[in-house]
Amino acid sequence: MLTPYLMAKDMFDELAESAFSTSTLRGMMNTDIKESDQGYELDIDLPVMYPPSDTEYYLHRGFYRDYASSGCLFIGPGSTPEGSHVIVYGHHMKDGTMFGSLGRYKKASYFRDHPVIRFDTLTEEGAYEILGVFYSRVYTDADEGVFRYYQYTDLTAEEAFDAYVRQVKAASLYDTGVEAVYGDKLLTLSTCSYHTENGRFVVVARQSVPA
């Protein structure tokens, strides 16, 4: 059976005129397909959309570009699939689709069972170790001294990278034991959370270095 990622690859030529590329995101838990020897199990195995001219195009559109309240997972403004920091957004759906299961990472026990997320682009496969997990929100201009994680899209400067990692570790609900150093590629997953108005739940991971 074709996975959504393979479907995306097969369809890419057909949809190339839309000027988007697709990646695939895999992680969490699925009782049907397991790769426990790799340290991860599959629950989210979906294309991640990236239309450069309109990054929120898939906020409420499905893979075939028709209306869908769940939308698609998509790479947000300021990020690219091959960039050093990729921020992926997705709806928290009550039926568990899209990023509906991402909130399971609020429990350290769940992290211990699922410490690795895969994020594969059309040109590269990648395993990411979870660096931090935290609650946040979309802040107003009047809010001071807060961590606007969604603004850290460019981490090419060492100062920006260090500031982002430091704040992720400080905000994390628990210590994952994973560290990041300047030059590491980071992956941030963001979804809605209802703990507060405009709340967000965020998982940040660092690309694993091949042994």
- Tens of pLDDT, residue by residue over 157-166, are 999 999 999 9
Q: Which of 174, 31, 39, 178 is nearest to 114 (CA)?
A: 39
**Are 58 and 159 a contacting pair, CB within 8 Å?**
no
* Mean pLDDT value across residues 124-143: 91
Dmax over CA atoms of the chain, in Å, equals 51
Contacts of 149 by beta carbon, 8 Å cutoff, 6+ apart: 136, 164, 167, 168, 188, 190, 202, 204
Q: Would you state the structure tokens that stand for residue 98, as one six-digit string? A: 């899209």
How many domains, in total, are found in the chain?
1
**Are 69 and 167 a contacting pair, CB within 8 Å?**
no
93-133 residue pLDDT tens: 777 778 888 999 999 999 999 999 988 887 788 899 999 99
Q: What is the CATH number of the domain that holds 161?
A: 2.40.260.10
Question: Using CA atoms in the order 28, 32, 38, 40, what is the torsion angle rounded to 10 degrees?
Answer: 10
Rounded Cα gap, residues 207 and 186, in angstroms: 6
Q: Which pLDDT score is estimated for 202? A: 97
* Structural domain span for residue 77: 4-207
57-98 residue pLDDT tens: 888 888 888 888 878 889 998 988 888 999 999 978 777 778
Q: Which pLDDT score is estimated for 159? A: 97
- CA gyration radius for the chain? 16
Rounded Cα gap, residues 100 and 111, in angstroms: 16
Q: Would you state the structure tokens that stand for residue 172, as one six-digit string? A: 């994390």
pLDDT higher at 172 or 45? 172
Q: Which pLDDT score is estimated for 133? A: 97
